[in-house]
Amino acid sequence: MTALTAPAATGTAHTHGSPRLTRWLLRLHRSALLVWTVFVLLGSALLLWLAGPLTDAAAEGWRQYNACGTTPRCSYDQDAILFYKSTYNYVAAAMAGLPFLVAAWAGAALTGRELESGTAQLAWTQGVSPTRWLALRLAVPAVAVTAGASLLVLLHHRAWSAAQGRIDTGKPWHDVWTFHANGPTTVALALAGLVAGALAGLVLRRTLPALLLGLALAAGVWGTAQLLMPHLWPAVTEETSLQQGYGHLYSGIQVDHGLITASGGHVPKLECYTTVSGGCARELEKLDAVGYYSTYHPVSHYWPLQLTTGALVLAVAGLGTAAAFWLLRHRTATPRTTA
Amino acid sequence: MTTHTRAALEAVALGKRFGRRGGWALRDCAFRLPAGRICAVVGPNGAGKSTLLALAAGLLGPTEGSVSVLGADPARARARVGFVAQGKPLHPQLTVAETLRMGADLNPGRWDRATAERVVTAGGLDPDARIRSLSGGQHTRVALALALGKRTELLLLDEPMADLDPLARHDLMGLLMGQSAQHGTTIVMSSHVVAELEDSCDHLLLLGGGRIRLAGDIDELLAAHTRLSVPAGSADLSTHTVVESRTTGRQLSALIRPGAAPLPADWRTGPPTLEDLILAHLRNPGATALTTTAPARTEEIRQTEQTEETTA
């Protein structure tokens, strides 16, 4: 957006072709690019390994275990099952940490350090306008982050799908880490992390504080997204009788659950699952309960939730970007319209 | 007195405050620097020198007033202005050769490779040396090479010689003078070492407490002041602007701006040195400021000021 004003700001330099900024951005952040490439390649290799050999071995282990039935002494490949589980968890944790990794880097290295050491100002006096400098610093990493994170997400979804129905301890779709690692929300969160870090660096202009603020902002975005996510799409409410017990409790993304009274009212979050035990029975009678209700998101809501949450996060990232440009233009000399 | 040649730098009511409740780093700054001059920006630490240069380079936006550079606003003049900040920031991970290549890439069409390389090789620098391995003086040399390589009409240098040994200082000063003579580049450099600037600069901008104390051609400024020494109690200085006066024993010595009336013939007078002039103004912040080259728009104000001075 604001980048469009940049060529005018560079004046006569523009007539001789644009300054080759991208080349130097990549050169200056060569090590970061290398680390990111290794991260993506290693993650991809792990996910391919997880989807293939590890899933097969763990599935075979579960088949053996289930075939044991009640036989007291029966051998099954427990190591394969445990190895699958820990590998899956490590990969999921790494993917969950992705937005924070990006935020920390962006805050510290991309903007904070350059403003602290004055190399940003050096660029601004070397024919690069501040808006153009920032536009490029957001756009190039955004491309790299989007490409890498998308690849990881696709491979994660593939690996997760391969285990469905074959590995009994496979994570359900609504497991919080799996939910994000399986879909575009991870990419959106990583982009928001980039903006959070860049903004933190611009605000604080110091490396270490910007790293910490970048992390805090990214955590704020993550927490807000997690908090709002169940409410971004209408949930399903299931009502069951007292005899049937709860229907789908904790089998999807849970929004609310509780008791239905005779008057049709809802009493939320009463953890009474049975009419048999004494205390609960008295409690249910006192409330005049006639059934249970459970409000949740079934698996069919996966994509609507992914897309609305992703869109929300991207909107926040957009606001952050606008704030970063506003701050930079406010602080430095910007072309006067009357000039 | 005001020359109407093109201005390299012109400030009108320029002010900069950091933070909403912070103090003013620079206030009511008005002056005009004609193109082709070599201007010294002098003042004690915290006088606003770096702020003024950063405003001119477009690194900061003014809080009030305006500054124009080569007839344009600083944001539009970036390509024609070179700047070396006080800390001489460079990317530590690049080599000397890479740093110059970056300069060439970022300034397409206005990069003078020969000059940039000459500055670096004259210092005996290894092109493959990393910036982080350079000494302070070598570092400054590369920063200057980057600024000089960019073919600019105005060079803004913030304390450029601070960490150089006398030999390198002499060497680089010569290089700057040569650049100015050859291309007519205007050079503005700040320093708090007066001796460093006396021989090479023809224009002075003296800042104190964020305000301009003196601005103008050095010869004109010197000519406007007189140092005198008279017996205490015998002299009436009321028709002149007294910048500083001191009584030692029965002797009164003063630095004045003579008014319209001629000085009595029996007064012992003499021309001040540049150092006298600067120190007297810094020691006496209450003395009226003098601007011999005011921007066109503040000409009127200057006239009023001078009238006040003569009637004071």
pLDDT digits (tens, 9 = 90+) for B67-101: 999 999 999 998 899 999 999 999 999 999 999 99
pLDDT at B56 over 60: yes
Residue A38 confidence (pLDDT): 96
Instruction: Give domain status of residue B190, yes or no.
Output: yes
The more confident residue out of A305 and A270 is: A305
Out of A11-25, A201-215, B148-162, B163-177, least confident range: A11-25
User: Do B37 and B112 belong to one domain?
Assistant: yes
- Is B73 within 8 Å of A122 when comparing Cβ atoms? no
Are B186 and B36 in contact by the 8 Å Cβ rule? The answer is yes
pLDDT at A310 over 80: yes
Question: Nearest CB to B109: which of A8, A15, A335?
Answer: A15
CATH code for the domain in which residue B68 is found: 3.40.50.300
**Position A270 confidence tier, pLDDT thresholds 50, 70, 90:** low
Break chain A into its structural domains and give their ranges. Answer: 18-232+310-332, 236-300
Are A328 and A198 in contact by the 8 Å Cβ rule? The answer is no
Are B281 and B243 in contact by the 8 Å Cβ rule? The answer is yes
**Position B295 confidence tier, pLDDT thresholds 50, 70, 90:** low
**Position A16 confidence tier, pLDDT thresholds 50, 70, 90:** low
Residue A5 confidence (pLDDT): 36
Are B140 and B160 in contact by the 8 Å Cβ rule? The answer is yes
Task: List pLDDT tens digits, range B32-54.
Answer: 999 999 999 998 888 899 999 99
Residue B214 confidence (pLDDT): 93
User: Do B74 and B84 belong to one domain?
Assistant: yes
Share of chain A above pLDDT 70, in %: 89
User: Do B43 and B131 belong to one domain?
Assistant: yes
User: Do B213 and B225 belong to one domain?
Assistant: no
The more confident residue out of A207 and A167 is: A207
User: Do B88 and B213 belong to one domain?
Assistant: yes
Closest by CA to A105, choosing from A56, A142, A153, is A142
User: Do B200 and B225 belong to one domain?
Assistant: no
Are A293 and A260 in contact by the 8 Å Cβ rule? The answer is yes
User: Do B214 and B178 belong to one domain?
Assistant: yes
- Is A331 within 8 Å of B61 when comparing Cβ atoms? yes
3-state secondary structure of B217: strand
Instruction: Give domain status of residue B307, yes or no.
Output: no
User: Do B227 and B192 belong to one domain?
Assistant: no
Instruction: Give domain status of residue B26, yes or no.
Output: yes
Interface ipTM: 0.85
Instruction: Give domain status of residue B112, yes or no.
Output: yes
Total number of domains in chain B: 2
User: Do B234 and B188 belong to one domain?
Assistant: no
Q: Which residue of B has its CA nearest to A117?
A: B89
Instruction: Give domain status of residue B309, yes or no.
Output: no
Tell me the sheet residues that pair with A127.
none
What gap in Å lies between CA B252 and CA B239, rounded to an integer?
Answer: 16
**Position B299 confidence tier, pLDDT thresholds 50, 70, 90:** very low
Residue B167 confidence (pLDDT): 84
User: Do B162 and B277 belong to one domain?
Assistant: no
Closest by CA to B160, choosing from B87, B69, B91, is B87
Residue B248 confidence (pLDDT): 85
Of B218, B236, B251, the one marking the end of a domain is B218
Q: Specify the amino acid at residue B141.
A: R
- Measured in angstroms, the CA of B37 and the nearest CA of chain A are apart by 21
pLDDT at B119 over 50: yes
- Is A19 within 8 Å of B76 when comparing Cβ atoms? no
Distances (CA, A) of A148 to A45, A154, A155, A194, B133: 13, 10, 11, 14, 35
Residue B312 confidence (pLDDT): 36
- Please give the mean pLDDT across all residues of chain B: 86
Residue A81 confidence (pLDDT): 85
pLDDT at B115 over 60: yes
The more confident residue out of B51 and B179 is: B51
- Please give the mean pLDDT across all residues of chain A: 86
**Position A2 confidence tier, pLDDT thresholds 50, 70, 90:** very low
pLDDT at A337 over 80: no
Instruction: Give domain status of residue B43, yes or no.
Output: yes
Task: List pLDDT tens digits, range A51-79.
Answer: 888 888 888 888 888 888 777 777 888 88
Q: Identify the residue among A31, A122, A328 best suited for mutation to test binding to B, counting B beta carbons within 10 A and taking the highest.
A: A122
Residues on chain A bordering chain B, Cβ-to-Cβ distance under 8 angstroms = 8-13, 15-21, 23-24, 27-28, 117-119, 121-129, 330-336, 339
Distances (CA, A) of B41 to A63, B159, B191: 83, 9, 6
Residue A13 confidence (pLDDT): 39
- Is B106 within 8 Å of A15 when comparing Cβ atoms? no
What gap in Å lies between CA A130 and CA A121, rounded to an integer?
Answer: 8
Q: Which pair of tokens denotes residue A314?
A: 């991207």
Task: List pLDDT tens digits, range A222-249.
Answer: 999 999 999 999 988 888 887 777 776 6
User: Do B52 and B147 belong to one domain?
Assistant: yes
Instruction: Give domain status of residue B299, yes or no.
Output: no
What average pLDDT does this structure show over A157-178?
87
Q: Residue A235 gets which letter from DSSP?
A: P
Are B34 and B63 in contact by the 8 Å Cβ rule? The answer is no
Tell me the sheet residues that pair with B211.
B208
Residue A251 confidence (pLDDT): 76
Residue A17 confidence (pLDDT): 64
Distances (CA, A) of A335 to A2, A7, A329, B12, B73: 12, 11, 9, 17, 7
What gap in Å lies between CA A286 and CA A281, rounded to an integer?
Answer: 9
Q: Residue B29 gets which letter from DSSP?
A: E
Q: Which domain holds residue B154?
A: 7-218
Instruction: Give domain status of residue B302, yes or no.
Output: no
What average pLDDT does this structure show over B104-114?
91
User: Do B63 and B149 belong to one domain?
Assistant: yes
Q: Which pair of tokens denotes residue B204?
A: 């002075």
